[in-house]
Amino acid sequence: MAKKSKQYQTALKQVDVTKAYSVEEAVALVKEIDFAKFDATVEVAYRLGVDPKKADQQIRGAVVLPNGTGKTQRVLVFAKGEKAKEAEAAGADYVGESDLVQKISGGWFDFDVIVATPDMMGEVGRLGRVLGPKGLMPNPKTGTVTMDVTKAVNEIKAGKVTYRVDKAGNVQAPIGKVSFSTDKLIENFKTINDTMLKVKPSSAKGQYIKNITVTTTFGPGVKVDQSSL
């Protein structure tokens, strides 16, 4: 295991690792002990009682945070005709067809999210090997394969985040920046939590949410008391 920095060790000493803090205490604490020299991202992590190997327990989706993420997402839209015009009007950073497919194939990745209309997925599918590993492939479950490109672009620009359970049953998502007020971070946190509860698979057995932790980019995790959410 990699040795933690002195700054991390100092921050960790301020966390009672045996305690589950209220959401208010946890968010305030991670802000207080953050030591990054930039405006670090605040993230939440869920350990869920699901089996990702089962198709009906592969939790994946997207949610728009009421206070955004603190990051402006660069949106690329694969569309043509009127839908391309709609995407441009909505504020998409890049709009195109096969020209963008070729550009990405050549190693260009100056964007954060891809949206595609269903009729463009045949072209976009050719990029599966390069987009898949980066988590950039458009997907209907996250609202990025749609004919309503205006709504998709607007939501992403407003602070839409995607989430996906990993092989170990964990889900991570950003809820803002350290510079956000505690109230705004808590509101975003509760929005994520409500979403996690709504997407609980009916086939999941036993305790669904096993653990919730909030942390910053470099800081230690702080366990959160579920009942406070």
pLDDT digits (tens, 9 = 90+) for 63-85: 999 999 998 899 999 999 999 99
pLDDT digits (tens, 9 = 90+) for 18-65: 999 999 999 999 999 999 999 999 999 999 999 999 999 999 899 999
pLDDT digits (tens, 9 = 90+) for 141-154: 889 999 999 999 99
- Residue 145 DSSP label: B
Give the residue-averaged pLDDT of 122-150. 93
- 3-state SS record for 87-107: HHHHCCCEEECHHHHHHHHCC
For the chain, give the percent of residues with pLDDT over 70: 99
The pTM score is 0.83
Domains of the chain: residue spans and CATH: 19-68+160-224 (3.30.190.20), 75-157 (3.40.50.790)
β-bridge partners, 77:
95, 115
**CA 153, CA 75: separation in Å to the nearest integer?**
7
Name the band, by pLDDT with cuts 50, 70 and 90, for residue 1.
Answer: very low
